[in-house]
């Protein structure tokens, strides 16, 4: 994978003490799963960014990269 892809994946953190170890965005308590659920329910990136100002546009790219790794069957664990 390109370095940009790896750089995006570094934005996804997994900490057993945060949200029961679910993958989160940059150590925040916002999980990859929540962002994907909001998007699949029709929320736009702009709406989510307005509701969660601690997020950045590249966080969405990181979520997509993480989901792509999981869909490809790759080990996408990040510490």
Instruction: Give the pTM.
Output: 0.86
For residue 68 the two structure tokens come to 């792509």
Task: Using pLDDT thresholds of 50, 70 and 90, give the confidence band for residue 1.
Answer: low
Cβ-count burial 13-49 (b if 16+ within 10 Å, e if not): eeeeeebeeebbbeeeebbbebbeebbeeeeeeeebe
- Give me the residue spans of the domains in the chain: 3-70
What integer best gives the mean pLDDT of the chain?
91
Task: Using pLDDT thresholds of 50, 70 and 90, give the confidence band for residue 2.
Answer: confident
Question: HSE on the CB side for 67, CA within 13 Å?
Answer: 15
**pLDDT tens-digit map of 41-68:** 999 999 999 999 999 999 999 999 999 9
Whether 37 has a pLDDT exceeding 70, the answer reads yes
CATH code of the domain occupying 3-70: 1.10.10.10
């Amino acid at each position: 994978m390109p370095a940009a892809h790896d750089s995006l994946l570094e934005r996804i953190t997994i900490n057993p003490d945060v949200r029961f170890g679910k993958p989160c965005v940059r150590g925040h308590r916002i999980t990859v799963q929540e962002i994907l659920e909001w998007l699949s329910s029709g929320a736009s990136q702009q709406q989510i960014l307005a509701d969660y100002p601690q997020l950045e546009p590249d966080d969405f790219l990181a979520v997509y990269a993480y989901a792509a790794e999981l869909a490809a069957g790759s080990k996408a664990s990040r510490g």
